[in-house]
Amino acid sequence: MKMLLAGSWVDRDKTIEVRDPFDNSVIDTVPRASAADVETALAAAVKGFEAARKMAVYERAQVLLKTAAIVQGRLEEFAVTIAREGSKTIREARKEARRCVNTLTISAEEAKRISGETIPFDSFPGGEKRVGYYQRVPIGVVLAITPFNDPLNLVAHKLGPAIAAGDSVVLKPATVTPLSALKLTEAFVEAGLPPLVLQTLTGHGAEIGDALVADPRVRMISFTGGLDAGQRITTLAGIKKIGMELGSNSPVIVWNDADVRWAAESCVSGAFWAAGQNCIGVQRIYVHKDVYAAFRDGMVEATAKYKIGDKMKEETDMGPMITEGEAKRVERWIAEAKQAGAKVLIGGGRTGALMQPTVLEGVPKTATIHREEVFGPTVNLYPVATVEEALAEANSLPFGLHAALFTRDVDTAFKLALGLDAGGVMINDSTDYRLDSMPFGGIKNSGLGREGVKFSLQEMTEPKVICFYLPTM
Protein backbone atom coordinates (compact mmCIF):
# COMPACT_ATOMS: atom_id res chain seq x y z
CA MET A 1 0.00 0.00 0.00
CA LYS A 2 1.03 3.64 -0.38
CA MET A 3 1.16 6.27 2.34
CA LEU A 4 -0.81 9.53 2.33
CA LEU A 5 1.47 12.54 2.23
CA ALA A 6 0.52 16.14 1.42
CA GLY A 7 -2.70 15.05 -0.24
CA SER A 8 -1.20 12.31 -2.45
CA TRP A 9 -0.76 8.58 -2.12
CA VAL A 10 2.99 8.02 -2.48
CA ASP A 11 5.46 5.15 -2.86
CA ARG A 12 9.11 5.10 -1.88
CA ASP A 13 12.05 3.07 -3.20
CA LYS A 14 12.75 1.88 0.31
CA THR A 15 9.89 -0.26 1.58
CA ILE A 16 8.96 -2.25 4.66
CA GLU A 17 7.51 -5.77 4.39
CA VAL A 18 4.36 -6.45 6.36
CA ARG A 19 4.27 -10.10 7.42
CA ASP A 20 1.62 -12.42 8.81
CA PRO A 21 3.10 -13.58 12.14
CA PHE A 22 1.36 -16.97 11.82
CA ASP A 23 3.36 -18.19 8.80
CA ASN A 24 5.74 -15.28 8.23
CA SER A 25 4.38 -14.77 4.70
CA VAL A 26 4.64 -11.26 3.21
CA ILE A 27 1.16 -9.73 2.94
CA ASP A 28 2.14 -6.37 1.48
CA THR A 29 4.79 -3.67 1.55
CA VAL A 30 4.58 -0.04 2.67
CA PRO A 31 6.90 2.92 2.05
CA ARG A 32 9.70 3.50 4.53
CA ALA A 33 9.30 7.21 5.27
CA SER A 34 12.45 9.35 5.46
CA ALA A 35 13.43 12.58 7.20
CA ALA A 36 12.39 14.47 4.04
CA ASP A 37 8.93 12.87 4.28
CA VAL A 38 8.65 14.04 7.89
CA GLU A 39 9.27 17.62 6.79
CA THR A 40 6.72 17.32 3.95
CA ALA A 41 4.15 15.84 6.34
CA LEU A 42 4.56 18.55 8.97
CA ALA A 43 4.47 21.40 6.46
CA ALA A 44 1.32 19.90 4.91
CA ALA A 45 -0.27 19.39 8.34
CA VAL A 46 0.21 23.09 9.17
CA LYS A 47 -1.72 23.97 6.01
CA GLY A 48 -4.17 21.17 6.73
CA PHE A 49 -4.94 22.71 10.09
CA GLU A 50 -6.18 25.87 8.36
CA ALA A 51 -8.60 23.71 6.36
CA ALA A 52 -9.62 21.59 9.35
CA ARG A 53 -10.43 24.48 11.68
CA LYS A 54 -12.60 26.09 8.99
CA MET A 55 -14.83 23.01 8.67
CA ALA A 56 -18.18 23.58 10.32
CA VAL A 57 -19.01 21.13 13.07
CA TYR A 58 -21.72 19.50 10.97
CA GLU A 59 -19.20 18.99 8.15
CA ARG A 60 -16.75 17.27 10.51
CA ALA A 61 -19.58 15.10 11.82
CA GLN A 62 -20.64 14.21 8.26
CA VAL A 63 -17.12 13.07 7.33
CA LEU A 64 -16.89 10.99 10.50
CA LEU A 65 -20.29 9.36 9.95
CA LYS A 66 -19.49 8.66 6.31
CA THR A 67 -16.16 7.08 7.29
CA ALA A 68 -17.99 4.97 9.89
CA ALA A 69 -20.43 3.85 7.20
CA ILE A 70 -17.57 2.91 4.84
CA VAL A 71 -15.92 0.79 7.56
CA GLN A 72 -19.30 -0.78 8.41
CA GLY A 73 -19.85 -1.60 4.73
CA ARG A 74 -16.44 -3.32 4.50
CA LEU A 75 -16.37 -4.81 7.97
CA GLU A 76 -15.09 -8.21 6.88
CA GLU A 77 -12.34 -6.68 4.73
CA PHE A 78 -11.15 -4.59 7.68
CA ALA A 79 -11.37 -7.61 9.99
CA VAL A 80 -9.29 -9.75 7.62
CA THR A 81 -6.64 -7.00 7.43
CA ILE A 82 -6.47 -6.74 11.24
CA ALA A 83 -6.25 -10.51 11.61
CA ARG A 84 -3.63 -11.02 8.91
CA GLU A 85 -1.18 -8.29 9.80
CA GLY A 86 -1.47 -8.72 13.57
CA SER A 87 -2.06 -11.32 16.23
CA LYS A 88 -5.83 -11.34 16.47
CA THR A 89 -8.04 -14.19 15.40
CA ILE A 90 -10.70 -13.38 12.83
CA ARG A 91 -13.37 -13.32 15.56
CA GLU A 92 -11.30 -10.93 17.69
CA ALA A 93 -10.62 -8.80 14.61
CA ARG A 94 -14.33 -8.53 13.75
CA LYS A 95 -14.99 -7.18 17.24
CA GLU A 96 -12.28 -4.56 16.75
CA ALA A 97 -13.69 -3.49 13.35
CA ARG A 98 -17.16 -3.09 14.89
CA ARG A 99 -15.68 -1.03 17.71
CA CYS A 100 -13.97 1.22 15.17
CA VAL A 101 -17.40 2.02 13.71
CA ASN A 102 -18.58 2.90 17.24
CA THR A 103 -15.55 5.10 17.92
CA LEU A 104 -16.08 7.09 14.70
CA THR A 105 -19.81 7.40 15.34
CA ILE A 106 -19.24 8.62 18.90
CA SER A 107 -16.70 11.13 17.51
CA ALA A 108 -19.35 12.53 15.15
CA GLU A 109 -21.81 12.81 18.06
CA GLU A 110 -19.30 14.42 20.42
CA ALA A 111 -18.22 16.94 17.76
CA LYS A 112 -21.64 18.53 18.29
CA ARG A 113 -21.18 18.76 22.05
CA ILE A 114 -17.95 20.77 22.14
CA SER A 115 -18.99 23.79 24.16
CA GLY A 116 -17.87 26.48 26.58
CA GLU A 117 -19.62 28.64 29.16
CA THR A 118 -20.16 32.27 30.08
CA ILE A 119 -17.76 33.80 32.58
CA PRO A 120 -19.01 35.95 35.50
CA PHE A 121 -16.31 38.62 35.09
CA ASP A 122 -17.94 40.86 37.70
CA SER A 123 -17.32 38.34 40.49
CA PHE A 124 -14.46 40.57 41.64
CA PRO A 125 -13.92 44.35 41.62
CA GLY A 126 -12.44 45.48 38.31
CA GLY A 127 -14.56 43.06 36.31
CA GLU A 128 -17.61 45.31 36.05
CA LYS A 129 -18.97 46.12 32.59
CA ARG A 130 -17.41 43.00 31.12
CA VAL A 131 -19.27 40.11 29.56
CA GLY A 132 -17.82 37.12 27.85
CA TYR A 133 -17.37 33.43 27.58
CA TYR A 134 -14.90 30.75 26.66
CA GLN A 135 -15.18 28.36 23.78
CA ARG A 136 -13.06 25.32 23.02
CA VAL A 137 -10.91 25.71 19.91
CA PRO A 138 -8.86 23.09 18.07
CA ILE A 139 -5.32 22.69 19.35
CA GLY A 140 -3.55 22.48 15.95
CA VAL A 141 -1.37 19.73 14.50
CA VAL A 142 -1.75 16.45 16.43
CA LEU A 143 0.95 13.80 16.11
CA ALA A 144 -0.74 10.41 16.60
CA ILE A 145 1.51 7.41 17.28
CA THR A 146 -0.17 4.02 17.59
CA PRO A 147 0.79 0.45 18.64
CA PHE A 148 0.37 -2.92 16.91
CA ASN A 149 -2.11 -4.65 19.15
CA ASP A 150 -5.33 -2.84 18.11
CA PRO A 151 -4.17 -1.60 14.70
CA LEU A 152 -7.54 -0.15 13.67
CA ASN A 153 -9.57 0.98 16.68
CA LEU A 154 -6.68 2.67 18.50
CA VAL A 155 -6.04 4.66 15.30
CA ALA A 156 -9.75 5.58 15.24
CA HIS A 157 -9.41 6.73 18.87
CA LYS A 158 -6.96 9.39 17.70
CA LEU A 159 -8.29 10.32 14.24
CA GLY A 160 -11.95 10.44 15.32
CA PRO A 161 -11.59 13.00 18.13
CA ALA A 162 -8.90 15.02 16.30
CA ILE A 163 -11.12 15.45 13.24
CA ALA A 164 -14.14 16.15 15.45
CA ALA A 165 -12.08 18.86 17.18
CA GLY A 166 -10.97 20.56 13.96
CA ASP A 167 -7.31 19.55 14.24
CA SER A 168 -5.00 18.22 11.52
CA VAL A 169 -3.12 14.97 12.11
CA VAL A 170 0.17 13.31 11.28
CA LEU A 171 -0.41 9.61 11.97
CA LYS A 172 2.45 7.16 12.46
CA PRO A 173 1.09 3.64 12.90
CA ALA A 174 3.13 0.71 14.26
CA THR A 175 5.57 -0.57 11.64
CA VAL A 176 4.45 -4.20 11.97
CA THR A 177 0.74 -3.36 11.47
CA PRO A 178 0.37 -0.33 9.16
CA LEU A 179 -2.26 -1.74 6.78
CA SER A 180 -5.37 -1.26 8.94
CA ALA A 181 -4.33 2.37 9.53
CA LEU A 182 -3.81 2.95 5.79
CA LYS A 183 -7.19 1.41 5.00
CA LEU A 184 -8.86 3.69 7.54
CA THR A 185 -7.01 6.64 5.99
CA GLU A 186 -8.42 5.59 2.59
CA ALA A 187 -11.91 5.55 4.10
CA PHE A 188 -11.45 9.10 5.44
CA VAL A 189 -10.32 10.32 2.02
CA GLU A 190 -13.26 8.59 0.35
CA ALA A 191 -15.58 10.20 2.92
CA GLY A 192 -14.44 13.65 1.78
CA LEU A 193 -11.90 14.71 4.42
CA PRO A 194 -10.20 17.78 2.91
CA PRO A 195 -6.70 17.08 1.55
CA LEU A 196 -3.84 17.84 3.97
CA VAL A 197 -5.96 17.38 7.11
CA LEU A 198 -4.51 13.88 7.51
CA GLN A 199 -1.04 12.55 6.68
CA THR A 200 -0.33 8.87 7.34
CA LEU A 201 3.39 8.17 7.43
CA THR A 202 4.65 4.59 7.47
CA GLY A 203 8.15 4.20 8.81
CA HIS A 204 10.22 3.13 11.78
CA GLY A 205 9.73 5.07 14.99
CA ALA A 206 13.46 4.71 15.61
CA GLU A 207 14.20 6.52 12.31
CA ILE A 208 11.53 9.21 12.02
CA GLY A 209 10.17 9.40 15.57
CA ASP A 210 12.54 11.97 17.06
CA ALA A 211 12.07 14.49 14.24
CA LEU A 212 8.28 14.24 14.50
CA VAL A 213 8.17 14.37 18.28
CA ALA A 214 10.56 17.29 18.74
CA ASP A 215 9.08 19.52 16.03
CA PRO A 216 7.51 22.71 17.42
CA ARG A 217 4.80 22.70 14.72
CA VAL A 218 3.24 19.74 16.53
CA ARG A 219 0.95 21.06 19.29
CA MET A 220 -0.02 17.73 20.79
CA ILE A 221 1.40 14.22 20.80
CA SER A 222 -1.17 11.51 21.33
CA PHE A 223 0.88 8.38 21.98
CA THR A 224 -0.23 4.82 22.66
CA GLY A 225 2.52 2.29 23.17
CA GLY A 226 5.16 1.01 25.55
CA LEU A 227 6.88 2.73 28.46
CA ASP A 228 10.33 2.96 26.81
CA ALA A 229 9.10 4.81 23.72
CA GLY A 230 6.79 6.89 25.93
CA GLN A 231 9.69 7.94 28.11
CA ARG A 232 11.82 8.94 25.11
CA ILE A 233 8.96 10.93 23.62
CA THR A 234 8.28 12.88 26.84
CA THR A 235 11.97 13.71 27.08
CA LEU A 236 12.18 15.08 23.53
CA ALA A 237 8.77 16.69 23.13
CA GLY A 238 9.48 20.21 24.39
CA ILE A 239 6.54 22.56 24.92
CA LYS A 240 3.52 20.71 23.63
CA LYS A 241 0.64 18.75 25.10
CA ILE A 242 1.25 15.04 25.63
CA GLY A 243 -1.27 12.22 25.96
CA MET A 244 0.31 8.94 27.04
CA GLU A 245 -1.60 5.64 26.90
CA LEU A 246 0.97 3.15 28.14
CA GLY A 247 1.12 -0.42 29.33
CA SER A 248 0.23 -2.11 32.59
CA ASN A 249 0.42 -5.28 34.68
CA SER A 250 -3.23 -5.58 35.62
CA PRO A 251 -4.32 -7.13 38.93
CA VAL A 252 -7.56 -8.98 39.65
CA ILE A 253 -8.87 -9.87 43.12
CA VAL A 254 -11.18 -12.88 43.50
CA TRP A 255 -12.96 -12.89 46.88
CA ASN A 256 -14.33 -15.89 48.83
CA ASP A 257 -17.96 -14.99 48.06
CA ALA A 258 -17.41 -14.67 44.29
CA ASP A 259 -18.92 -16.76 41.51
CA VAL A 260 -15.66 -18.66 41.11
CA ARG A 261 -16.53 -20.45 37.89
CA TRP A 262 -17.47 -17.18 36.14
CA ALA A 263 -14.40 -15.45 37.59
CA ALA A 264 -12.15 -18.13 36.11
CA GLU A 265 -13.82 -18.02 32.68
CA SER A 266 -13.66 -14.25 32.59
CA CYS A 267 -10.00 -14.16 33.69
CA VAL A 268 -8.99 -16.74 31.07
CA SER A 269 -10.52 -14.61 28.33
CA GLY A 270 -9.01 -11.46 29.90
CA ALA A 271 -5.54 -13.00 30.08
CA PHE A 272 -5.42 -14.55 26.61
CA TRP A 273 -7.34 -12.07 24.40
CA ALA A 274 -5.12 -11.13 21.44
CA ALA A 275 -2.56 -13.65 22.74
CA GLY A 276 -2.22 -11.54 25.90
CA GLN A 277 -1.02 -8.53 23.90
CA ASN A 278 -3.55 -6.25 25.47
CA CYS A 279 -2.82 -3.21 27.64
CA ILE A 280 -5.69 -4.20 29.99
CA GLY A 281 -4.94 -7.94 29.90
CA VAL A 282 -5.09 -9.85 33.20
CA GLN A 283 -1.60 -10.57 34.54
CA ARG A 284 -1.80 -11.09 38.33
CA ILE A 285 -4.75 -12.72 40.11
CA TYR A 286 -5.00 -12.52 43.92
CA VAL A 287 -7.43 -15.18 45.13
CA HIS A 288 -8.89 -15.56 48.63
CA LYS A 289 -7.29 -18.66 50.14
CA ASP A 290 -10.69 -20.33 50.81
CA VAL A 291 -11.49 -20.47 47.08
CA TYR A 292 -7.94 -20.65 45.73
CA ALA A 293 -8.03 -24.35 44.82
CA ALA A 294 -11.45 -24.11 43.15
CA PHE A 295 -10.41 -21.01 41.18
CA ARG A 296 -7.09 -22.56 40.14
CA ASP A 297 -8.90 -25.68 38.87
CA GLY A 298 -11.38 -23.47 37.01
CA MET A 299 -8.55 -21.52 35.34
CA VAL A 300 -6.76 -24.70 34.25
CA GLU A 301 -9.99 -26.26 32.97
CA ALA A 302 -10.98 -23.15 30.96
CA THR A 303 -7.42 -22.73 29.60
CA ALA A 304 -7.31 -26.37 28.48
CA LYS A 305 -10.35 -25.70 26.25
CA TYR A 306 -8.61 -22.80 24.47
CA LYS A 307 -7.95 -23.56 20.81
CA ILE A 308 -4.75 -22.00 19.51
CA GLY A 309 -3.49 -21.88 15.93
CA ASP A 310 -4.59 -20.47 12.59
CA LYS A 311 -6.05 -16.98 13.18
CA MET A 312 -8.26 -17.18 10.13
CA LYS A 313 -10.20 -20.26 11.31
CA GLU A 314 -13.52 -19.51 13.00
CA GLU A 315 -12.90 -22.01 15.81
CA THR A 316 -9.49 -20.57 16.83
CA ASP A 317 -9.53 -18.77 20.19
CA MET A 318 -5.95 -17.50 20.20
CA GLY A 319 -3.41 -16.76 17.48
CA PRO A 320 0.36 -16.18 17.51
CA MET A 321 2.25 -13.40 19.21
CA ILE A 322 3.27 -10.52 16.96
CA THR A 323 6.74 -12.00 16.28
CA GLU A 324 8.64 -15.15 17.17
CA GLY A 325 11.09 -12.91 19.04
CA GLU A 326 8.29 -11.73 21.34
CA ALA A 327 7.18 -15.34 21.97
CA LYS A 328 10.77 -16.27 22.80
CA ARG A 329 10.91 -13.37 25.29
CA VAL A 330 7.82 -14.66 27.09
CA GLU A 331 9.27 -18.18 27.08
CA ARG A 332 12.45 -16.80 28.71
CA TRP A 333 10.44 -14.96 31.37
CA ILE A 334 8.57 -18.20 32.18
CA ALA A 335 11.88 -20.12 32.39
CA GLU A 336 13.30 -17.47 34.74
CA ALA A 337 10.22 -17.70 37.00
CA LYS A 338 10.41 -21.53 37.01
CA GLN A 339 14.07 -21.37 37.94
CA ALA A 340 13.09 -19.19 40.89
CA GLY A 341 10.43 -21.67 42.09
CA ALA A 342 7.28 -20.95 40.05
CA LYS A 343 5.07 -23.84 38.93
CA VAL A 344 3.55 -24.04 35.44
CA LEU A 345 -0.04 -25.27 35.95
CA ILE A 346 -0.77 -25.45 32.23
CA GLY A 347 0.94 -24.30 29.01
CA GLY A 348 4.48 -22.93 28.91
CA GLY A 349 5.36 -24.31 25.46
CA ARG A 350 6.02 -22.47 22.20
CA THR A 351 5.99 -23.24 18.47
CA GLY A 352 7.37 -20.35 16.43
CA ALA A 353 5.35 -17.27 17.36
CA LEU A 354 2.57 -19.42 18.89
CA MET A 355 2.90 -19.32 22.66
CA GLN A 356 0.65 -21.65 24.64
CA PRO A 357 -1.75 -19.97 27.07
CA THR A 358 0.03 -20.37 30.38
CA VAL A 359 -1.06 -20.30 34.03
CA LEU A 360 1.60 -19.99 36.74
CA GLU A 361 1.56 -20.15 40.54
CA GLY A 362 4.21 -19.62 43.16
CA VAL A 363 5.83 -16.83 41.12
CA PRO A 364 8.32 -14.95 43.34
CA LYS A 365 8.04 -11.17 43.50
CA THR A 366 11.55 -10.84 42.11
CA ALA A 367 10.60 -12.57 38.82
CA THR A 368 10.38 -10.38 35.71
CA ILE A 369 7.01 -11.95 34.86
CA HIS A 370 5.67 -10.64 38.18
CA ARG A 371 7.19 -7.15 38.04
CA GLU A 372 7.02 -6.11 34.39
CA GLU A 373 4.25 -5.96 31.80
CA VAL A 374 4.36 -9.42 30.17
CA PHE A 375 2.26 -8.51 27.09
CA GLY A 376 1.87 -12.20 26.31
CA PRO A 377 -0.51 -15.09 27.11
CA THR A 378 0.55 -15.85 30.68
CA VAL A 379 -1.12 -15.20 34.01
CA ASN A 380 0.03 -15.60 37.64
CA LEU A 381 -2.09 -16.82 40.59
CA TYR A 382 -1.42 -15.88 44.24
CA PRO A 383 -3.42 -16.83 47.39
CA VAL A 384 -4.27 -14.00 49.82
CA ALA A 385 -6.03 -13.92 53.21
CA THR A 386 -7.28 -10.38 53.88
CA VAL A 387 -8.64 -7.41 51.96
CA GLU A 388 -5.67 -5.35 53.16
CA GLU A 389 -3.20 -7.92 51.84
CA ALA A 390 -5.01 -8.15 48.50
CA LEU A 391 -4.97 -4.36 48.08
CA ALA A 392 -1.34 -3.99 49.12
CA GLU A 393 -0.26 -6.68 46.65
CA ALA A 394 -2.46 -5.43 43.81
CA ASN A 395 -1.16 -1.87 44.24
CA SER A 396 2.48 -2.84 44.74
CA LEU A 397 3.70 -2.19 41.18
CA PRO A 398 4.25 1.13 39.35
CA PHE A 399 1.35 0.59 36.92
CA GLY A 400 -2.36 1.40 37.11
CA LEU A 401 -4.49 1.13 33.99
CA HIS A 402 -7.31 -1.27 34.91
CA ALA A 403 -7.90 -3.44 37.97
CA ALA A 404 -10.77 -5.87 38.62
CA LEU A 405 -12.46 -7.71 41.44
CA PHE A 406 -15.00 -10.48 41.89
CA THR A 407 -17.32 -10.48 44.91
CA ARG A 408 -21.03 -10.70 45.67
CA ASP A 409 -20.73 -8.44 48.74
CA VAL A 410 -21.33 -4.75 48.18
CA ASP A 411 -19.14 -3.63 51.11
CA THR A 412 -16.18 -5.66 49.85
CA ALA A 413 -16.78 -4.35 46.33
CA PHE A 414 -16.66 -0.72 47.46
CA LYS A 415 -13.70 -1.24 49.78
CA LEU A 416 -11.65 -2.87 47.03
CA ALA A 417 -12.82 -0.59 44.21
CA LEU A 418 -11.95 2.55 46.18
CA GLY A 419 -8.66 1.06 47.36
CA LEU A 420 -7.34 -0.13 44.00
CA ASP A 421 -4.96 2.35 42.33
CA ALA A 422 -6.08 2.32 38.69
CA GLY A 423 -7.73 4.40 35.99
CA GLY A 424 -10.69 1.98 35.99
CA VAL A 425 -11.96 -0.85 38.19
CA MET A 426 -14.18 -3.60 36.78
CA ILE A 427 -16.43 -5.44 39.23
CA ASN A 428 -17.44 -9.03 38.46
CA ASP A 429 -15.59 -8.93 35.16
CA SER A 430 -11.92 -9.12 34.24
CA THR A 431 -9.75 -6.05 33.62
CA ASP A 432 -10.31 -6.55 29.89
CA TYR A 433 -13.41 -4.41 29.49
CA ARG A 434 -13.58 -1.04 27.74
CA LEU A 435 -16.42 0.98 26.28
CA ASP A 436 -15.15 3.39 23.62
CA SER A 437 -16.94 6.38 25.15
CA MET A 438 -15.75 5.93 28.73
CA PRO A 439 -12.69 7.76 30.11
CA PHE A 440 -9.76 5.43 29.51
CA GLY A 441 -6.22 5.82 30.73
CA GLY A 442 -3.84 5.04 33.52
CA ILE A 443 -2.05 6.34 36.56
CA LYS A 444 1.62 5.87 37.54
CA ASN A 445 3.63 4.43 34.61
CA SER A 446 0.43 3.50 32.76
CA GLY A 447 -0.08 6.94 31.37
CA LEU A 448 -1.02 10.56 31.41
CA GLY A 449 -4.41 11.99 30.42
CA ARG A 450 -7.46 10.10 29.22
CA GLU A 451 -8.86 8.83 25.93
CA GLY A 452 -12.48 7.83 25.25
CA VAL A 453 -13.80 10.20 22.63
CA LYS A 454 -15.27 12.95 24.84
CA PHE A 455 -12.14 12.96 26.99
CA SER A 456 -9.77 12.99 24.01
CA LEU A 457 -11.72 15.97 22.71
CA GLN A 458 -10.92 17.86 25.91
CA GLU A 459 -7.23 17.08 25.35
CA MET A 460 -7.31 17.95 21.64
CA THR A 461 -8.99 21.35 22.10
CA GLU A 462 -8.13 24.28 24.33
CA PRO A 463 -10.26 26.99 25.92
CA LYS A 464 -10.20 30.45 24.35
CA VAL A 465 -11.66 33.40 26.28
CA ILE A 466 -13.67 36.11 24.49
CA CYS A 467 -14.24 39.12 26.75
CA PHE A 468 -16.16 42.31 25.84
CA TYR A 469 -15.51 45.50 27.80
CA LEU A 470 -18.61 47.69 27.59
CA PRO A 471 -17.71 50.99 29.34
CA THR A 472 -20.93 52.78 28.39
CA MET A 473 -23.19 50.14 29.90
| Among 77-85, 107-115, 220-228, 358-366, the segment contacting ligand NAP (CB under 6 A) | 220-228
Can residue 14 be called a binding residue for ligand NAP (CB under 6 A)? Answer: no
Looking at 32-40, 95-103, 172-180, 282-290, which segment touches ligand NAP (CB under 6 A)?
A: 172-180
Does residue number 209 form part of the binding site for ligand NAP (CB under 6 A)? yes
Is 100 among the residues known to form the active site?
no
The residue (of 213 and 344) whose beta carbon lies closer to ligand NAP is 213
Crossing angle (nearest 10°) for helices 75-85 and 90-111? 120
Q: Which is nearer to ligand NAP, 166 or 173 (CB)?
A: 173
Residues 392-421 that bind ligand NAP (CB under 6 A): 401
Total interface residues for ligand NAP by CB under 6 A: 30
Nearer to ligand NAP, 147 or 419 (CB): 147
Burial of 209 (0-12, 13-18, 19+ CB in 10 A): buried
User: Of the ranges 169-177, 252-260, 289-297, 363-371, which one interacts with ligand NAP (CB under 6 A)?
Assistant: 169-177
Q: Which of 279, 326, 373, 459 is catalytic?
A: 279
Q: Which residues neighbour 12 within 8 Å (Cβ) at sequence distance 6 or greater?
A: 3, 31, 32, 33, 34, 37
Using rule CB under 6 A, residue 247 touches ligand NAP: yes
Q: Is 279 a catalytic residue?
A: yes
Give the amino acid at 79.
A
Least distance to ligand NAP, CB of residue 398, Å: 13
Out of 37, 331, 361, 373, name the contact with ligand NAP by CB under 6 A: 373
Based on the shown chain and the rule CB under 6 A, indicate whether residue 447 belongs to the binding site for ligand NAP: yes
Tell me how long the chain is: 473
Interface residue with ligand NAP, options 22, 49, 78, 148 (CB under 6 A):
148
CA–CA separation, 413 and 399 (whole Å): 21
What's the CA gap between 277 and 218, in Å, rounded?
Answer: 30
Contacting positions for ligand NAP (CB under 6 A): 145-150, 154, 172-175, 204-206, 209, 213, 224-226, 229, 232-233, 245-247, 279, 373, 375, 401, 447
